[in-house]
Structure 1
Amino acid sequence: MHLTKNLCGLHLEPTEKGSHYLSPASYTLSKKEKESMFQCLESIKVPSGYSSNIKRIISTKDKKFTNLKSHDCHVLMTQLLPVIIRGILPDNVRAIVMKLCAFMNAIS
């Protein structure tokens, strides 16, 4: 019953034109949320040698990451992502992502 309740919003909905619409999942970021995430990333300063300069690996205009090295991905997943999503995602999604980040940090 609980699982069915959570999946109700993920069904295709018919539109007036005869096509179908799939509503976004709870973890999908809106344009405003992506802007907020990239602004947060742009403002983060890390110690020299800790990781690449964050401003160099993101494109705020295109909302994309570029030229990521494996260590940069590691730092993003284990340290920065929990800070970035703090006020963006719903509580249930944020808790799961933060647990995943903590797990990634623990195994490394």
Structure 2
Amino acid sequence: MSKYGHAGHGFSVTPVMREDFGDHKKIDLFFRNEDIQEIGYFRFKMTFQPNQKIENKWNILNGPNANEYLLPDWVRLPPGETYKESGLVVNGPLPVTLGLEHRYC
């Protein structure tokens, strides 16, 4: 089996609103391993509305391209499990998210 996964397969990333402050929203990102092997690398995309920006983020790193992000390298996710310790604060609506690439441990 390949050490690398393909876009849209292997894991999902879902934005979940934790708190709504009117003009700002605190959002948790839920990452679920939908594969049969432990995943240790997550590259994902978040698409925002024009003029929308990230006010704060935790346990999320900037990725190699615009609107691409990574989880810290200490995140390991076994098959069928969900990681819920990353998030952000944005002005405006929830971002649209897409898993782009994953790598197995």
Normalising by structure 2, we get a TM-score of 0.21
Give the greater-gyration-radius structure (CA).
Answer: 1
Higher relative strand content: 2
Greater RCO (CA < 8 Å, at least 6 residues apart): 2
Normalising by structure 1, we get a TM-score of 0.21
